[in-house]
Structure 1
Amino acid sequence: MSATPSSILWRASSRETIDAPPLSRDTDVDLLVIGGGFTGTSAALQAARSGASVCLLEAETFGYGGSGRNVGLVNAGLWLPPDRIVEQLGEAEGGRLIDVLGQGPGDVFALIEREAIQCEATRSGTLHLAHSQAGVNDLKERCRQGTRHGAPLRLLNREDTELRTGTNAFSGALFDPRAGTIHPLAYCQGLARAAQAQGSAICEHSKVTALTRDGDRWRAVANGHRVRARHVIVATNAYHLGLNAPFTPAFTVVNYCQFATAPLPPAVRETILPNGEGCWDTAMVMSSIRLDQAGRLIVGGVGSMEHRGKDFHLSWARRKLRQLYPQLPAASFDYAWSGRIAMTDDHIPKIVKFGPNAYSVFGYSGRGIAPGTVFGKALADTLLLEPHGDLPLATTEHYAERFSRAKAYYYEFGAKLVHGVSARL
C-alpha cells in the first residue's frame, strides 16, 4: 500500500458491469437524458419502462461524478430539518416534499430488489451522531420535528450509541430505521444496466458539447453525432462538464473526501457498527463513518483530495480513526478519494424548466441517492405520461447564485483549518 492512497474504493469493488459504447450514430428519441448519475439513470429506467425511446449520454462513465464517490448513505429527507423546509417552501409544498423524500429509501431499496442490483444493500438504518451536548440538543429538536411529520425516529443515549458504534466518542444519536447503506457506484451502474435492458440507448464517453432547440425538438451534439429528442433532462449536478446549453446549473461546490481501511479482522469488525448502520455527525465540519460488505471501515469528511492541501485531510482521517477506534491495529488506509457536492444557498434541490419539455435538476446538497432516484423517476413521468406525473418540488424558469466561487473556497479552507487542528491526541 502506498503512503498516500488515491484510488476510489467503489470502482475497485463494484460487482455491477455494463457495456455502454460511446454514441456512434445520429438518432431520434422521445427522451434525451444528459448525465449518468442517480438522477439520470433513474429517469432513463422509468422512461424506458413506460415505453418511451431513450438515449442516455454520459461524458465519462456511469457514476463517474458524485454518484460514484458518494458515502452510500440512503437517507430519508434532506439535510435540512423539516421545519426549515416548510419555512422556505410553505406548508403544502414543504409537507409534500418531506413526505415524498421520507419514502425515498423505500423507493431505492424496492428498485434494488426489483432489478436485482448487486450493490451491498443493507437496510439497517442510519445514525446521526451527536459530537457534543450541543449536538444532542440539535438531535432532540430534529427528532421532535421529524416525528411530528410521521418519521419513526428514535433518540439514543450515550450508552446505546456506544453499543451501536463501538466508540465512546459520541454523546448520543438519532436513529432512522427507514434508511440504510449501499455501494453507491454499483447502484448507479445497476440502474443503467436495468435501463439498457428495458431498451434505453445508454452511452458512456459521450460528452454533450451543445444543446439547442431545433424546431419542435431538442438537438444535442456528442462525439460528432446528433441526438434529436422531444424531451430532455439535464442531470449533470456538480459535474456539468463544459456543456453549452440554454441553462447552466448554479450551485456552490463542496468537496467531500473518504478514506477506506483494509477489511477489518473479524473479531474487531464485530465490535464496530455491528448492526451495519451508516453514520454522520453534527459537527459544523461534518464527518461520517460506515462499513462496506467486506468489512472495510470508511471515514469521511469535508475536503478535497484533488486540491493542494490534501495531506491535511489524510492526516486528519488517520487521527480521527485512532480517536474513534484505538483498538484497531493501525490507522492506515488502502483507498482515498473525494467528490463534489452541489450545494444550493437554501440547501433545497432545484428543478429548472429551461425550455419546452426541458428540465435541469441539481443541488441535492449532499443527499443524492434517494432524492436523485425520486426526482429522476418523477421527471420522466412528468414529461412522458398522460396525465402528467406530479413533481415533488415546484419548478422555476431561472435560478442563480452569487459568490459561488468564494463560498467554495471558504468551505475548503475551513475544512483544511479544522482538519489541521482537530482530533489530535
Structure 2
Amino acid sequence: MIQNERPVIADSLWTATANQSVKHPVLRGAHRADVVVIGAGYTGLSAALHLAESGASVIVIDAQHPGWGASGRNGGQVNVGLKDGPSAIKAKFGDHWGDRMIRMAGNAGDLVFDLIDRHKIDCAATRPGWLRAAHTPKTLRQLHALAADWEDYGGGMQTLDRDEMHSRTGTDAYLGGVIDHRGGLLHPLNYALGLAAAAQRYGAVIFGGSGARSIQKEGCGYRVACPEGNIAASKVLLCTNAYSGDVEKPLAQSVLPVRSVQVATAPLSDNLRISILSEGNTLSDTRRLLLYFRKDAEGRFIMGGRGTYNDASTQKQIDWLRGISVKLFPQLQGVEWQHAWGGFVALTRDHYPHLHEIKPGMMAGLGYNGRGVAIATAMGRVLAQWALGQHPDDLEFPVSPVKPLPFSFARTYAVEAEILRLRLLDKLGV
C-alpha cells in the first residue's frame, strides 16, 4: 500500500512489487549545496543524476520519498513525442524551438533506456513499441497522418489497419492505428528508485519526509526551509509537477492536477496471457477520456483511465475499468482483480510541458499531460543543463512565463464537469 495516501487509491501494484530501497532520512540542521532539487519524481531525480554526474553538489528533498507521487504510480508506459506532430509543433513554436522540441521529445525514449542500461536499473524495462489505437474513422486518419508527419524527423511510427491491430492486441474494438517503435514499458516505481540510487552513487544526497516550507533569497542564492532543517544553494529546481503546493503558489496554479486510476489482475494463465497484447506492447487509445493498458513482467493485465477527485466516484471508475477490460477482452471474465490505485497527473492549458524561470537562479519544469516517464526524464536533463550554466536560449526546450489558470480555486468542480462532458462525447463517438 502507498503510505500516507487515501485508501481508495493506495493499493498499488507497483508498491507491492517494488525493489527494496534504502531509507531516505529527514533533513535536519543546516546544509549547503550547489543545487537544491525540490521533488523526487522523474524530473527531480533525472536532474539530480545529470548534475551529480557532472560533478555538482546536489541535495534532493521530498515531502514523502522518491517515487511517491505520479512517478511511482503511473502506467509505466514509455511514450515519446508531444501533443502534436512535428508540423504543428513548428507552426506553433517556429523552426528554432520547434526543431529542438521535436528532437528532445522524439529521443526521450532513447534517454530513458540509455539511463537504465548505463546505471543497471532493475525495472523490467522492455521496448516492444507503443500502440496508439483508433476508435473512430476520424482518429484513425489522424493517427496515420501523424505517422507520416514524423517521417521527415526520423520516423519510428508504423501504420496499422484493423486486422493488424487485432493481431497485436487480441481485441477487435479498434479500427487500426499506429505502433511507435520508440516506445516501451517498465516498472515505474523501480525506475524512480533506480534513478535515485544512481544519483546517490554519484554523490547526490536525498532526504525524505522533508517538504519545502519556504524559499528565501539569500545573497547570490537561496535558502530552502524544511520542517527540521534548511539548505543554502546557488540554484533551486522546482520539480513537483501535479504535487506542487503553496511554496510557489502561482506555479501550482499553472497546472490542473487530474487523478488517473488503474486496476490490475492477478498474474494470468499462459493461455490468457498470450491472448492479450501477445507481443508485449503498451497501448493507449484515442478516446477523449483515454484508456491505456499493458501487461507487467509477471503477466498481470493492467488497465488505466481517468479518475475524479471524489472518492466515491473514483471507486465507481475503478469498477468501470474492470468492466471495460472484460468488454474488450471477454476472456478476462472471472479473473481475480488484485490491485487498484491512482495518483495525479498535471495537465496544462496548451497540453505542452512547461519550463519556467521563476526568478533568477530558480527554474521549474512540469506539466507532462500523461507522458511523464519519457518527457519528465528529458526535462530533468534540461533543468540540469540550465543549473550547470547553460543559457536559456541554448536549452532543448523554451522557457515561458508562469501563467496561473483562471478560476483555479474552482478547478475541482471544473474537472468533474469536464469529465462528464468528455464521457458523453466518447459515448456518442463524435
The TM-score by the shorter chain falls in which range?
A: over 0.9
Structure 1 pair 99–16 and aligned structure 2 pair: CA distance change class (3 A): farther
How far the C-alpha of 1:378 sits from its partner, in A, is 1.8
1:126 to 2:130 alignment: yes
Contact 1:300 1:317 in 2 (8 A): yes
Match of 2:27 in 1: 23
- The aligned amino acid for 2:282 is G
Task: For residues 179-237 of structure 1, give each alpha carbon's deviation from its aligned partner in whole angstroms, at most 9, with x where no partner exists.
Answer: 10111111111101111111111011111100111111210011221100011100001
What RMSD, in angstroms, separates the aligned Cα atoms of the two structures? Answer: 2.4
- Matched residue of 1:211: which SS? strand
Are positions 1:199 and 2:193 aligned together?
no
DSSP 3-state at the match of 1:42:
helix
Partner of 2:260: 256
CA distance in 2, matches of 1:213, 1:245: 16
- 2:12 match: 8
Structure whose residues are more often helix by fraction = 2
1:333 paired with 2:337, answer: yes
The answer to whether the Cα contact below 8 Å between 1:260 and 1:336 also exists between their aligned partners in 2 is yes
Q: Distance in 2 between matches of 1:190 and 1:388?
A: 29
In 2: Cα distance, 1:354 partner to 1:190 partner: 29
- Residues 1:213 and 2:217 are matched in the alignment: yes
Output aligned runs, 1:362-401, within 5 Å. Answer: 362-385=366-389, 390-401=394-405
Matching residue's letter, 1:328? L
* Alpha-carbon spacing, 1:119–1:198, altered in 2? closer, same or farther (3 Å): same
> Which of 158, 170, 173 is 2:174 aligned to?
170
Among residues 282, 300, 304, which one is paired with 2:304 in the alignment? 300
Structure 1 residues 277-299: Cα deviation after superposition (integer angstroms, max 9, x where no partner): 11000111111111111111011
Q: Is the 8 A contact 1:316 1:420 kept in 2?
A: no
For the 8 Å contact 1:211–1:221, the answer to whether it is kept is yes
Counterpart for residue 4 of structure 2: none
Q: 1:275 is paired with a residue of what secondary structure?
A: coil
Partner residue, 2:3: none
What is the match of residue 95 of structure 1?
99
1:84 to 60, 82, 88: 88
> Match of 1:263, SS?
coil
Q: Give unmatched runs, 5+ long, in structure 2.
A: 1-7
* TM-score normalized with structure 1 length: 0.93
Matched, 1:58 2:62: yes
Alignment map for 1:270-285 (pairs within 5 Å):
270-285=274-289
Correspondence 1:234 to 2:238 = yes
Deviations 1:312-362 (A, max 9, x none): 212311221111111124155211111111111111111111122210111
SS at match of 2:203: coil
- Residue 35 of structure 2 aligns to a residue whose secondary structure is strand
- CA offset at residue 135 of structure 1? 2.1
CA apart distance, 1:172 = 0.5
Percent identity between the two aligned chains: 34
1:83: how far off?
Answer: 3.0
Does structure 2 conserve the Cα–Cα contact (< 8 Å) formed by 1:211 and 1:245?
no
Partner residue, 1:160? 164
8 Å CA contact 2:27, 2:230 repeated in 1:
no
Quick one: which amino acid aligns to residue 78 of structure 2? V
Q: Which amino acid aligns with 1:258?
A: Q
Q: Which runs of 5+ in 1 are unaligned?
A: none
Secondary structure in 1 aligned to 2:247?
coil
Alignment partner of 1:193: what SS?
A: helix
Separation in 2, partners of 1:97, 1:353: 18
Name whichever of 410-419 and 196-205 sits farther off: 410-419
Correspondence 1:265 to 2:300: no
1:124-154 per-residue CA deviation (whole Å, 9 max, x = no partner) reads 1100011122221121221222223322211
- Count of matched residue pairs: 421
Q: Distance in 2 between matches of 1:79 and 1:387?
A: 26
Flag the 1:330–1:6 CA change in 2: closer, same or farther, 3 A: farther
TM-score, structure 2 as length reference = 0.92
CA separation of 1:333/1:389 partners in 2, compared to 1, >3 Å: closer, same or farther?
farther
How far the C-alpha of 1:413 sits from its partner, in A, is 3.9
CA distance in 2, matches of 1:392, 1:88: 16
1:105-144 pair list within 5 angstroms? 105-144=109-148
For the pair 1:287 / 2:308, whether they are aligned, the reply is no
Secondary structure class of the residue paired with 1:327? helix
Out of 351, 358, 369, the residue aligned to residue 347 of structure 1 is: 351
Q: State whether residues 348 and 365 of structure 1, in contact with CA within 8 Å, keep that contact through their aligned partners in structure 2.
A: yes
Distance 1:8 1:419 in 2: 25
